[in-house]
Chain A
Amino acid sequence: MKRIPVILDGDPGHDDAIAWVLARSRPELEILAVTTCSGNQTLEKTTYNAGRIMALIGLDVPLAAGRTKPLLAETMVAPSVHGESGLDGPVLPEPVREPEAEEAVRLMARLIQTSDRPVVLIPTGPLTNIGALLLLYPQLKSKIRHIFLMGGGLAHGNWTPAAEFNILVDPEAAEVVFESGIPITMAGLDVTEQALVYPEDFQRIRAVGNQVAEVTAEWLEFFYEFHRTLGYPGAPVHDAVAVTALIRPDLVTSIDRYVVIERGGEYCRGATVGDIWNLSGKPPNVRCLMGIDRQGFVDLLVQAVEHYGRGVDNEA
C-alpha cells in the first residue's frame, strides 16, 4: 500500500491531540512531521504539548515550532477552552524528542520538496504556518495534494458571532490559503458542532483500557466540561473531523462552494463567507463539510484508541 504522506500542523489543544491520536492510528497515513503554531495557547506551550502528545502516542518524527505570532495580527489565545497549559487535564509523559532547530515552515518546505508523492496538509489551528509556507514557497503548491483544515464555518462563528477561532486568529493567513488554488476541505463549525462525543462515549473509549484510551477519555471530559456550560450535549471534537474527512470520506457530507475570508469589518473579521446560492458565479474553491455520521465518527475514535493496544482489564 502506498501511504499518504501528511504533515500535522496544529496548536494542541485537546481536539488537536485527539485528531493526532486518530491520524497516528491509521496505517494508510505516513506522518512526515508535526508542526506547531500559536493559537489555543502560545507557541511555546503548544510546542511543548505537541511533544508530550507525540511521546504518548509513540510518534517519532520531526517536530518543529512555527511562527510565534500570526502573519499580521496580534496573538490571541483560548485559555477558557483549553486551560492555562493549552492541554489541561490528564498527566502526560514528557517529550522524548526535542523540537528541531529548523523552523516549521522551512521543515515543511523541505519535506514537501523531497517527497516522492504530493503531500497532504492537515492544519487544525490558525493557518499562520501554511499561509507563510505558501507565500514563501509558491512553487511548492503543485506538490501539495490537498489541505484538510479545521476552521471557519459557512453559517456562523464561535469566538465572535461571525468568526470561528482558528480563522479569526489569523485571517490574513487564511486568505492566502483559501485563494491558493490548492484543493481545500474545510471542517468548519457547520460539521464540527455535529461531531459530538457524548459522556457515554467517553466510557467506551476509556474501557479500551490502554494509556492512550485513558488520556483521551480524560481530554474529552475536560473539553466537555467547558462546552457543557454552553449547552452542548457532548464534546465537539472539531479537529478530528479534518482527519476523518481524509481517511473516512464516507462518514461526512459536503457541498463545494466559493468561499472568501473577510479580513475587514466591524463585526465580521475572520468570517468564512460561503456562496451558498452561487450568487457570485465564481467556481468553488472549498469543499465545505456540512454533516457527519456521529455514531460512525465515535466508532472511528474507539477504533483509533484500540490501535494503541488492549489494556489489562480487557485481556481476560
Chain B
Amino acid sequence: MKPDPVEKRKIPPRHGPFQVDRDSFMETCFSGGDSIPVWFDCDTGVDDANALLLLHQLDCFRLVGVSTVAGNVVLEKTTDNTLRVLELAGSSVPVYRGAGLPLIRDQITAPEVHGTDGLGGVILPQPARTIEDKPAWDALYEAALAHKGQLVLIAVGPMTNIGLALAKYKDLPSLLKRVVIMGGAARGGNTTPAAEFNILVDPEAADMLFNCGIQVAMCGLDMTLQAFLTVEELEELGRLGSSQALFARNCLQKALAYSLTLGQPGIALHDPAAVLYAADDSIFEAWPAWIRVETQGRHTYGKTVTDLYSDKKKPHRPQLVVTAVDREKFKARLFYLMGRYGK
C-alpha cells in the first residue's frame, strides 16, 4: 500500500504516464514459492470466464473454491457456465452454488453484455463434473477457517454470497487475509449514471462488505475501464491458438460490440483486471479511502460513495480504491497467462 497521498496533493492523477520502477509480476507470480489460497466468487459472465482462465494459470494462487451467484445472468446459468469454463481451463476446483436473488431487491441481469446464456453465445461442452452440495457461504467460511487467516477472497459478481456469509458468520472478517472485488466506481457508473452493475444489483450486500471491518480493495470502473483490449488486440488474443484463447476471443464479441456503441475504445476486462490486481499490484495505482454504498437515493442507489476526491476526508479511511492501471503491462500479463494454454 502506498503512503497516504492526500497530504501531498488533493487529486490523484487520473492516468499515467506510469512510472513502474520494476515489474514484479514474474517474481511475485511465478517464483515457485508457496501459493496463496484463493476463493473466487463469480457470476460467469464473459469477463468472469476470462478471469477464471487467468486464475488457473497464476502459480502464486491456489484456487481452493469457486462460488457462483446470480448477476450477469440467472444463477442456474452462472453456475453452469462456471463449471464449463473451469473444465475448459482444466481445473478441478470445487464449485459451490450461491444466492439466486439479491438480499432484498428485485433481480437485474445484463443480457445485452453477456448474452442470454452468459457466455456471449459461445457453447462450451457439457462438463463431466457437477456442483458441490454445500451452499457457497458455508463452504467459503469453512475454507477461511481451514486456511487460518490466509485465504484471499476475490469477488467479481454481486456481493450477495459475501453478505450472507457475513450475516451468518460474524468472525469471517477476521479469518480472511484480503478481499479484492470488481465492482463500483469512485466516478460514474455503467448500468445507471451513478452505479456500476455488481453493486447496483445488490447494494445492501455490498455495503455489508464495506462496513464489516476488513480492508476491501475496490477494482471499480475507474481502473477497469482502462484495462481494455481494442478490436485488433482481441483478435490477436484469439490468434494465440489454444481453444482457451479462441474461447476468450469469441465470448467477448457481444460485449465488445456493446462497449463500442457506448463510445468506449474497446472491451474492458473488468474481472480479469481484479484478478491481476490481486496477484501483483505493481502496475496499478491504489489510494486509501472511505467507501460506503448508497442504498437510499432515488438516482444514486448502488453508488459506491468514496471520499477519495472530496475536500472533506473521513477520519477513518480503511479501504483502497484502485484508480489506474498501466494498460500496456496489463495486456502483456494477460497475453502471457493466456499463452500458457496449449503449451
Contact = CB atoms under 8 A, between A and B. Distances in A.
A139 B187 CA distance: 37
B297 A262 contact: yes
B296 A266 contact: yes
Given A266-B295, A276-B193, A277-B190, A162 B300 contact: yes
Contacts of B292: 266-267
Contacts of B16: none
Interface of B: 6-11, 186-194, 262-263, 290, 292, 294-301, 303, 305-312, 314
A161 B295 contact: no
B298 A263 contact: yes
Contacts of B7: 231
A80 to B, nearest CB: 10
A66 to B, nearest CB: 26
Contacts of B295: 266
A161 B310 contact: yes
Contact of A268 (B192, B194, B290): B194
A265 interface: yes
B310 A273 contact: no
A268 B305 contact: yes
8 contacts: A154-B187, A158-B311, A262-B194, A262-B300, A267-B300, A268-B305, A269-B297, A280-B192
B308 A156 contact: yes
Given A156-B186, A260-B299, A279 B294 contact: no
Given A162-B303, A266-B295, A268-B294, 9 more contacts: A156-B308, A156-B309, A157-B310, A162-B300, A193-B11, A231-B10, A260-B299, A268-B297, A277-B190
A260 B193 CA distance: 10
Interface in A161-211: 161-162, 193
A157 B292 CA distance: 15
* Residue among B10, B188, B262, B310 having the largest count of chain A Cβ atoms under 10 Å: B310
Contacts of B305: 161-162, 267-268
A283 to B, nearest CB: 14
B303 A268 contact: yes
A59 interface: no
Contacts, number: 110
B296 A264 contact: yes
A277 B9 contact: no
A155 to B, nearest CB: 4
A156 B188 CA distance: 9
Contacts of A275: 193
Contacts of A193: 10-11
A159 interface: yes
A276 B185 CA distance: 13
B10 A230 contact: yes
The 8 closest A-B pairs by CB, nearest first: A265-B297, A156-B309, A268-B300, A158-B311, A231-B10, A275-B193, A267-B305, A155-B187
A277 B262 contact: yes
A156 B310 contact: yes
* Residue among A154, A261, A262 having the largest count of chain B Cβ atoms under 10 Å: A262
B8 A231 contact: yes
Given A161-B305, A273-B194, A265 B298 contact: yes
A43 to B, nearest CB: 24
A267 B306 CA distance: 10
Nearest to B300: A268
A160 interface: yes
A140 to B, nearest CB: 28
A114 to B, nearest CB: 38
Contacts of B303: 162, 267-268
A167 B312 CA distance: 16
B9 A156 contact: no
A142 interface: no
A260 B299 CA distance: 8
A27 interface: no
A233 B9 CA distance: 7
Contacts of B9: 231-233
A18 to B, nearest CB: 19
A278 interface: yes
B300 A161 contact: no
Given A267-B294, A277-B263, A158 B186 contact: no
Contacts of A271: 194, 297, 299-300
A266 B297 contact: yes
A158 B297 CA distance: 18
Interface in A198-230: 230
Interface string A131-162: 00000000000000000000000111111111
Given A262-B299, A265-B297, A279 B307 contact: no
* Residue among B193, B290, B306 having the largest count of chain A Cβ atoms under 10 Å: B193
A157 B328 CA distance: 32
A156 B308 CA distance: 9
Contacts of B301: 265
Contacts of B300: 162, 262, 265, 267-268, 271, 273
A154 B194 CA distance: 10
B190 A273 contact: no
Nearest to B264: A277
A278 B294 contact: no
Interface in A276-312: 276-280
A274 interface: yes
Given A156-B187, A267-B305, A268-B300, A278 B262 contact: yes
Contacts of A161: 290, 305-310, 312, 314
B192 A279 contact: yes
Given A231-B9, A262-B300, A154 B294 contact: no
* Residue among A154, A230, A263 having the largest count of chain B Cβ atoms under 10 Å: A230
